[in-house]
């Protein structure tokens, strides 16, 4: 008999498969709650049919589905036959309770089991729709999806925060970013490209906002004249993603008791204006960039003044940006997007002149000959271009008001954790 998913059950004889989620035993009857990826259903059986079963065991159930509204749905199943497909051992985490009342390390040590919890599953179903929305929006705007190498010869962001490895006797690195390849694909004539993929940063952080491997949602586009074009496109992109999640993840948002923010427009100020406000209004002593407290304070300021959860900051100094960023005097034509006090996006225009790019490398203490394969592409006609990157785990965390980015990462990688 063919399996029926729980959400598709109709009256009649059915076969359902899943995990034993909860059990209520009465003297003459047992109510077993079965769970699959689509939901829950109540199964009615005799006490002797349940003997020896454990929570989270995987079972197959055949029975009669009848209309009988209960807290789990419109139907229940009267058991005819139960088969144990895989018996569970004793559970280290009570995943069938309303909350996972254990610390984060315990959750991550038993990650696969913890992911059975309804709220944790809701997080990653929503995250999937965020990525789907990113992809759908950009493809509707003539972007092409690309897949770039994660083993590279040069670090795109420069500096020492790269993971080095031996590549058949050559020195290689895990990619910090798909930046060089995004630009090369614009130059190749694709003009508009995007990628959703892993990036790696060898930064010795132990914070609630940093990971050493995370998922970056990047796009790059040619024939861009001003960063306002990129910021306007990202604003529409975020509106689309939020709409996508609201439409497709109503149940998951209810499970998490979360409402997504509305975006009409996103306010914008220069980094220097933000620093002036923070130093004057909040007694900060910032120069050149915001610290984490400053990001939170400027968010609170913008929220009070405009009602927006987002703010674009522009005009970052040259020394704060990678060598490929288009300069504007001592500043750059670049921006960050802060969302509820956390930077989720970095973007800007790129240098498209070969000589200017070499000069920028030298200013950063980089040797152009070490970047020959990248610079080669700039010899044969390069359109003005720019792009941005959004951290998927950070965006998910801030949308869902989750404090620690590890909760929105399937299998976090930080300096303490290389398993599971």
**Same domain assignment for residues 82 and 130:** no
Answer yes or no: is 302 within a domain.
yes
* pLDDT tens-digit readout, 252-292: 999 999 999 999 999 999 999 999 999 999 999 998 899 99
Indicate if the pLDDT at residue 205 is higher than 90: no
DSSP state at residue 307: -
Q: Does some domain include residue 104?
A: no
Structure token digits, residue 408: 């929105």
Report pLDDT for 233: 98
Nearest residue to 387 (alpha-carbon basis) of 145, 218, 271: 218
* Per-chain mean pLDDT for the chain: 95
Residues 24 and 140 in one domain: no
Cα distances (Å, whole numbers) of residue 419 to 81, 145, 220, 245, 268: 39, 30, 33, 30, 41
pLDDT tens-place string over residues 166-185: 999 999 999 999 999 999 99
What is the mean predicted confidence (pLDDT) over 88-102?
Answer: 92
CATH at residue 399? 3.30.930.10
Question: What is the total residue count of the chain?
Answer: 420
Q: Is the domain of 21 the same as that of 132?
A: no
Q: What was the pLDDT predicted at 159?
A: 59
Type and span of the H or E element at 69: strand 58-70
Q: Of 72-86, 112-126, 195-209, which gets the smallest average pLDDT?
A: 195-209
Task: Count CA atoms within 13 Å of residue 288 on its CB side.
Answer: 6
Domain span including residue 182: 112-408
- Structural domain ending residue among the three candidates 70, 86, 102: 86
352 assigned to some structural domain: yes
pLDDT tens-place string over residues 229-254: 999 999 999 999 999 999 999 999 99
- List phi, psi (to 5°) of 174: -80, 140
Instruction: Count other Cβ atoms within 10 Å, centred on residue 83.
Output: 11
Q: Looking at residue 160, what is its pLDDT?
A: 64
pTM for this structure? 0.94
Mean pLDDT, rounded, for 311-320 = 96
Q: Which residue has the tokens 């288009």?
A: 326
38 and 175 part of one domain: no
Q: What's the CA dihedral at 80, 81, 87, 88 to 10 degrees?
A: -20
Same structural domain, 210 and 153: yes
pLDDT bin (cut points 50, 70, 90) of residue 208 is confident
Task: Give the closest residue to 347 by CA, choosing from 218, 157, 196.
Answer: 218
Please choose, from the candidates 184, 230, 229, the residue with its C-alpha nearest in 3D space to the C-alpha of residue 380: 184
Shortest CA distance to 326 belongs to which of 225, 196, 195, 218?
225
pLDDT at 161: 85
Residues 216 and 134 in one domain: yes
Q: How many domains does one find in the chain?
A: 2
Separation CA 213–CA 106 (nearest Å): 20
Question: pLDDT at position 155, please?
Answer: 72
Query: Taking residues 85-109, what's their average pLDDT?
Result: 94
Same domain, 145 and 64: no
In percent, the amount of the chain with pLDDT more than 70 equals: 99
Count CA within 13 A, CB hemisphere, residue 136: 14
The domain boundary residue, chosen from 33, 52, 86: 86
Mean pLDDT, range 98-103, rounded to an integer: 91
Between CA 250 and CA 244 the distance in angstroms is 10
**The pLDDT of residue 371 is above 90:** yes
- Tell me whether residue 420 is in a domain: no
Is 298 contained in some domain?
yes
Evaluate whether residue 284 is within a structural domain. Answer: yes
51: CATH: 2.40.50.140
Residue 381 has pLDDT above 70, yes or no: yes
User: What is the SS3 assignment for 342?
Assistant: strand
- Ramachandran bin of 210, using left for φ above 0, alpha for ψ from -120 to 50, beta for the remaining angles: beta
- Is there a single domain that holds both residue 129 and residue 38? no
The string of DSSP codes covering 85-125 is EE-----SS-TTSSS--S-HHHHHHTHHHHTTSHHHHHHHH
Tens digit of each residue's pLDDT (9 = 90 or more) over 152-162: 988 766 656 89
- Structural domain ending residue among the three candidates 86, 104, 132: 86
Rg (CA), the chain: 26
- φ and ψ of 413, to 5 deg: -125, 110
In the chain, pLDDT over 90 holds for what percent of residues? 93
Query: What is the C-alpha to C-alpha distance for residues 260 and 409, in angstroms, rounded to an integer?
Result: 19
């Amino acid at each position: 008999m063919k399996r029926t998913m729980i959400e598709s059950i109709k009256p009649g004889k059915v076969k359902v498969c899943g995990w034993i989620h909860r059990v209520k035993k009465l003297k003459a009857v047992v109510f077993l709650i079965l769970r699959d990826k689509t939901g829950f259903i109540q199964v009615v059986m005799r006490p002797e049919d349940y003997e020896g079963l454990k929570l989270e065991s995987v079972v197959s159930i055949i029975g009669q589905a009848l209309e009988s509204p209960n807290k789990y749905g419109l139907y229940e199943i009267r058991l005819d036959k139960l088969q144990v497909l895989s018996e569970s051992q004793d559970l280290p985490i009570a995943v069938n309770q309303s909350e996972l009342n254990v610390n984060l390390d315990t959750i991550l040590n038993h990650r696969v089991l913890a992911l059975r919890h309804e709220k944790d599953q809701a997080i990653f179903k929503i995250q999937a729709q965020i990525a789907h929305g990113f992809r759908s929006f950009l493809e509707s705007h003539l972007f092409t999806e690309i897949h770039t190498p994660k083993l590279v010869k040069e670090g795109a962001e420069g500096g020492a925060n790269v993971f080095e490895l031996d590549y058949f006797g050559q020195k290689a690195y895990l990619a910090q970013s798909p930046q060089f390849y995004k630009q090369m694909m614009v130059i190749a004539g694709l003009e508009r490209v995007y990628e959703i993929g892993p990036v790696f940063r060898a930064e010795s952080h132990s914070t609630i906002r940093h990971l050493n491997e995370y998922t970056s949602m990047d796009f790059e586009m040619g024939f861009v004249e001003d960063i306002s074009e990129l910021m306007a496109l990202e604003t529409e992109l975020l509106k689309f993603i939020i709409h996508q999640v609201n439409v497709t993840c109503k149940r998951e948002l209810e499970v998490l008791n979360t409402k997504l923010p509305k975006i009409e427009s996103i306010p914008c100020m220069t980094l220097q204006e933000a620093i002036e406000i923070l130093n004057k209004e909040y007694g900060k002593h910032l120069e050149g960039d915001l610290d984490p407290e400053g990001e939170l304070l400027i968010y609170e300021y913008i929220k009070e003044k405009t009602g927006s959860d987002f703010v674009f900051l522009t005009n970052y100094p040259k020394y704060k940006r990678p060598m490929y960023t288009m300069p504007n005097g001592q500043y750059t034509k670049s921006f960050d997007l802060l969302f509820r006090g956390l930077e989720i996006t970095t973007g800007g225009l790129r240098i498209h002149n070969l000589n200017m790019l070499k000069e920028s490398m030298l200013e950063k203490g980089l040797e152009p000959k070490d970047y020959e394969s990248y610079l080669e592409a700039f010899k044969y006609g390069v359109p003005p271009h720019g792009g941005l990157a959004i951290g998927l785990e950070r965006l998910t965390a801030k949308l869902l008001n989750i404090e620690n980015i590890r909760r929105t990462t399937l299998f976090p990688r930080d300096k303490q954790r290389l398993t599971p």
